[in-house]
């Protein structure tokens, strides 16, 4: 069998997904046994011209990480889609927008205002902000224009598979490569991760499914053996897909949801709100003088808590500006 051809690309991302590929460590050599990497800007001097010259479908798989924010990324997403037999949305940003998708709560002007005009370390008496076309003494310089919102990859091109996580655990990356190499591909649209929630992988004791108080990590240290949610910490485990081995929870910190929606859920944030609403104040609500509103005020920043990685990919995915 001839070797497969892989491409890796990053759009609006942090580079952590590239590191997840390297974190396969020696297994990377196994990947190189079954596939040639023909495009990978972080590591190889292969240029866009070379990609454009490829025949359509030349690459077997393109692993595309990062969300789509500007026209150049959209162009690259479309180009790579054409050159690839299979397109994998790699990591939270490509899958659901990721943490940078939280920028959808504001707009370009607000960001410019904070970064270039109001930042306490910035000296800018002429109130200069970057422009898309600028005359310099030697000629003209141009900058790309940004879309007003962050989009997950599948809102721009057709996506075959999703590899969740911020970044995806290297074991899942390796599993994905092995499945692809075996030719036994799952149904289109599949998420290449176990059909589990993080709770299913969590070793903690769950015994008392109700919450009477919402606690914050900044004020409290969790008991390392008991379910975090039952202790009152907002742990995204019930609404989040597993496959990560509950590593954050094992560091005695709540799951923040990087694995994306758990199997069966359309939307991670609403799945968590639904899970929480079944146990929040469950026993206490029967008591006299119970104030549910008061309990809710203990819940800070619902968007950043329930939609930390998935705002851009959710049904309500941006702030509407008038």
Partner 1 sequence: MKIVTIDPITRLEGHGKIDIFLNEDGNVENAYLQIPELRGFERFCEGRKAEDMPIITPRICGVCPVAHHLASTKTLDAAYGVEPTETASKLRELMNCGYFIYDHTLHFYFLAAPDFVVGPDAPPSERNIFGVLKKVGLDVGREIIKHRAYGQRITETFGGKATHPTCGVPGGISKGLNEEERQSIEDMARSSVEFAKFSLGIFNDVVLSNQDYVDLILSDPYQLKTYNMGIVDDNNHVNFYGGDIRVTDQQGKEYVKFGEQDYLDHVCEHVEPWTYSKFTYLKDVGWDGFTDGPRSGVFRVGPLGRLNAADGMATPQADEEYKRMYKTLGGRPIQSTLAFHWARLVELLYAAERAVELATDPGITGTDLRNPVGEPGEGVGVVEAARGTLIHHYKLDQEGIIKKVNLVVATTMNYADICMSIRDAAKGLIKDNNVNEGLLNMVEMAFRAYDPCFGCSTHSLPGEAPLKVNIYDYRKRLIETVQRG
Judged by CB under 8 A, the number of residues near partner 1 is 92
Residue 321 binds to partner 1 (criterion: CB under 8 A): no
Rounded to 10°, the helix 170-182/27-34 angle is 20
Q: How far is the CB of 287 from partner 1 (least distance, A)?
A: 26
Structure tokens at 277: 């609403």
**Which residues face 35 on adjacent strands?**
4
Q: How far is the CB of 133 from partner 1 (least distance, A)?
A: 9
Which of positions 228-247 make contact with partner 1 (CB under 8 A)? 244, 247
Q: How far is the CB of 264 from partner 1 (least distance, A)?
A: 25
Non-local (6+) Cβ contacts of 53 within 8 A are none
Selection from 46, 49, 76 nearest residue 64 by Cα: 76
Q: How far is residue 257's CA from residue 124's CA, in Å, rounded to a whole number?
A: 39
Please identify which residue in 1, 2, 33, 120 interacts with partner 1, judged by CB under 8 A: 120
Which position has the token pair 């990062």? 66
Residue 158 binds to partner 1 (criterion: CB under 8 A): no
Nearer to partner 1, 146 or 210 (CB): 146
**200, 246 in Cβ contact below 8 A?**
no
Nearer to partner 1, 136 or 315 (CB): 136
Torsion of CA 212, 215, 219, 223, to 10 degrees: 90
Which of positions 83-112 make contact with partner 1 (CB under 8 A)? 98-103, 105-106, 108, 110-111
Window 36-75: contact mask with partner 1 (x via CB under 8 A): -x---xxxxxxxxxx---------------xx-xx-xx--
Which of positions 201-230 make contact with partner 1 (CB under 8 A)? 216-219, 221
Residue 171 binds to partner 1 (criterion: CB under 8 A): no
Selection from 111, 119, 109, 52 nearest residue 83 by Cα: 52
Which position has the token pair 């203990």? 298
Please identify which residue in 116, 171, 273, 279 interacts with partner 1, judged by CB under 8 A: 116
User: Among the candidate windows 135-143, 152-160, 266-274, 284-292, which touches partner 1 by CB under 8 A?
Assistant: 135-143
Q: How far is residue 272's CA from residue 188's CA, in Å, rounded to a whole number?
A: 26
């Amino acid at each position: 069998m001839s070797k497969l051809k892989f491409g890796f690309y990053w759009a609006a991302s942090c580079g952590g997904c590239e590191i997840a590929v390297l974190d396969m460590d020696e297994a990377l050599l196994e990947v190189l046994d079954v596939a040639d990497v023909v495009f990978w800007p972080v590591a190889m001097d292969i240029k866009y011209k070379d990609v454009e010259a490829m025949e359509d479908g030349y690459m077997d798989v393109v692993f595309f990480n990062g969300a789509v924010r500007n026209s150049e990324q959209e162009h690259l997403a479309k180009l790579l889609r054409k050159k690839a037999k299979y397109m994998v949305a790699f990591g939270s940003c490509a899958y659901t927008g990721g943490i940078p998708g939280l920028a959808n709560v504001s707009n370009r002007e607000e960001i410019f205002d904070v970064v270039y005009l109001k930042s306490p370390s910035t000296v800018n008496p002429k109130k200069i902000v970057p422009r898309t076309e600028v005359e310099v003494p030697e000629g003209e310089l141009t900058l790309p224009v940004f879309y007003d919102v962050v989009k997950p990859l599948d809102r721009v091109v057709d996506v075959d598979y999703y590899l969740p996580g911020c970044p995806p655990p290297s074991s899942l990356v390796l599993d994905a490569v092995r499945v692809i190499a075996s030719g036994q591909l799952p149904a289109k649209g599949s998420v290449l991760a176990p059909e589990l929630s993080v709770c299913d992988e969590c070793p903690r004791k769950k015994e008392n499914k109700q919450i009477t108080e919402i606690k914050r990590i900044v004020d409290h240290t969790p008991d390392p053996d008991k379910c975090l949610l039952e202790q009152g910490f907002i742990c995204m485990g019930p609404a989040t897909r597993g496959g990560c081995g509950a590593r954050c929870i094992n560091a005695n910190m709540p799951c923040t949801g990087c694995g994306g929606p758990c199997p069966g859920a359309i939307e991670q944030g609403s799945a968590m709100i639904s899970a929480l609403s079944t146990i929040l104040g469950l026993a206490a609500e029967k008591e006299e003088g119970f104030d549910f509103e008061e309990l809710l005020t203990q819940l800070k920043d619902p968007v950043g808590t329930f939609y930390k990685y998935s705002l851009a990919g959710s049904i309500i995915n941006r702030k509407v500006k008038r």
